[in-house]
Amino acid sequence: MSVGHKIRAIRDLRGMTQKELGIKVGFSAATADVRIRQYESHKMIPKEDKLKEIAAALDVDVSALKDHDIYSDLDLMQILFELEENHGLVIEKEADRYVLSFDESHPLFRYTNYKLDSWYRAKSQLLSNSEDSGYDDKEYLLWKYRFPLDTMKIEKTNAAKVREKYKPFLNNTYSIKKVNEFILLFEKLIRNGFDIQIASAPERSGIGTFVCCAIFKHSELLEATGEAANAYAEYLSMISYLEKSGIEIERETNSFDGETLLGVYFYSSVLSTALNHTVREIMVAHKAGALDDKIMQIQYKDSLQTFNVPIEK
């Protein structure tokens, strides 16, 4: 669908006239309908800045208005080929059906999975419950045109709730010198019941730099009290100290399985290595109820000794 067709389709969904949209975009009342008509009839193509203004006026994401150049089955095939080469798309045949999925080992799989999960949940809610809830195809279409705005709004709201809860408990005098101290703090978090996810991030890693991410569920962070809440506040203080010490850290918020996930990427090879190996081993042992077993403790002490080194910037 062309840019003009998309503008018209969304304008119709919004119940707006060409003149109303044009005025909202900033055109004069005398020319508003003419300018929008020119875009919708393909006589003019809006430039990027104007396209953003139209998207804002229609309350959708600007990506929904862009032309993705699928005019034939051959165009579609070339896009699928590109997805295979760059995003890990896999084609398989089950009985008489061809099934498309994404390779879990691909560096971008996690992000693709997040987006697919949001799509599946929105479609399930907005279409399957339409008779009971009053939602219909229009609501689902608008969700797609707005994507990822609605998802991002939920993520930002939940992340803000977590920041608000822990802000009063941050320790501005916190310090950390050795990598094994980093590991011990994660052990404290794990023992306090946090279901932490560890994800390597080859897409963020560069030459000589290994990047890993620690991911928490916002619901667990909001429910945490006592020692658990104190442990997470200590974790946040540690992140703040590492940033002030010159360690590059990136925060990220995503949605998956009905949860808001709060992740932190550590752009330090030694910290990321400790996270990806020792902390991951602690998590596995804790879930198996073997963290305090004699053999595990011997191995753990060896790991702590190995990482008894200064944190590298």
Region 237-247: what's the mean pLDDT?
96
Look up tokens 């974790």; give the residue: 235
Clarify whether residues 122 and 98 are in a common domain: no
Q: How far apart are CA 83 and CA 46, in angstroms?
A: 28
CA distance 31 to 19: 8
Asked if pLDDT for residue 258 goes beyond 80, the answer is yes
Residue 129 has pLDDT above 80, yes or no: no
User: Are the CB atoms for 267 and 214 separated by under 8 Å?
Assistant: no
Mean pLDDT, range 118-130, rounded to an integer: 84
Number of domains forming the structure of the chain = 4
Do 96 and 185 fall within a single domain? no
| Residue 294: pLDDT over 80 | yes
What 23-30 contacts at long range (C-beta under 8 Å, 24+ apart), as own/partner pairs, is 24/57, 25/50, 25/53, 25/54, 25/57, 26/53
pLDDT at 137 (0 to 100): 86
Lowest mean pLDDT among 49-63, 84-98, 122-136, 270-284: 122-136
The pLDDT value given to residue 312? 78
The C-alpha torsion from 142 through 143 and 146 to 151, rounded to 10°, is 160
Indicate the average pLDDT of the chain: 94
Same domain for 297 and 250: yes
249 and 132 housed in the same domain: no
Residues 30 and 118 in one domain: no
Domain contains 159 = no
Which of 15, 38, 65 marks a domain boundary? Answer: 65
The β-bridge partners of 266 are: 212, 249
Q: Residue 167: pLDDT above 90?
A: yes
Rounded to the nearest 10 degrees, how much is the dihedral formed by the CA atoms of 86, 90, 91, 97? -130
Order across the sheet with 259-267: list the strands. Answer: 197-200, 212-217, 259-267, 248-256
- Domain residues for the domain of 117 are 107-145
Work out the pLDDT band at 266, boundaries 50, 70, 90: very high
Residue 266 lies in a domain: yes
The answer to whether residues 281 and 207 belong to one domain is yes
Under 8 Å between Cβ of 68 and 62? no
Reduced to 3 states (helix: H, G, I; strand: E, B; else coil), residue 212 is strand
Instruction: For residue 153, tell me if it sits in a domain.
Output: no
Q: Do the domain assignments include residue 12? A: yes
Query: Do 79 and 205 reside in the same domain of the chain?
Result: no
Q: C-alpha distances in angstroms, 140 versus 69, 125, 152? A: 23, 9, 17
Question: Do 137 and 184 sit in the same domain of this protein?
Answer: no
If asked whether residues 254 and 190 sit together in one domain, one would say: yes
Which amino acid is it at 141?
L
Is residue 156 situated within a structural domain?
no
Position 159 scores a pLDDT of 97
Residue 69 binned pLDDT confidence (cut-offs 50, 70, 90): confident
pLDDT value of position 132: 55
On the question of pLDDT at 33 being above 80, the answer is: yes
**What is the percentage of the chain residues whose pLDDT exceeds 90?**
89
Q: Is residue 312 in a domain? A: no
Quick one: average pLDDT of 93-117? Answer: 95
Residue 131 sits at φ, ψ, to 5 deg, of: -70, -35
Assign 1 a pLDDT band (cuts: 50, 70, 90): confident
| Domain co-membership, 232 together with 293 | yes
Are the beta carbons of 29 and 23 closer than 8 angstroms? yes
- Look at residue 237 in the predicted model and tell me its pLDDT: 97
Are 60 and 78 members of one domain?
A: no
Residue 79 maps to a domain: yes
Reference 210, options 127, 271, 141, 138; nearest CA is 271
pLDDT 10s digits, 272-282:
999 999 999 99
DSSP code at position 55: H
Is residue 155, in this structure, part of any structural domain at all?
A: no
- Rounded mean pLDDT of 259-288? 97
Instruction: Please indicate, yes or no, whether residues 59 and 73 belong to a single structural domain of this protein.
Output: no
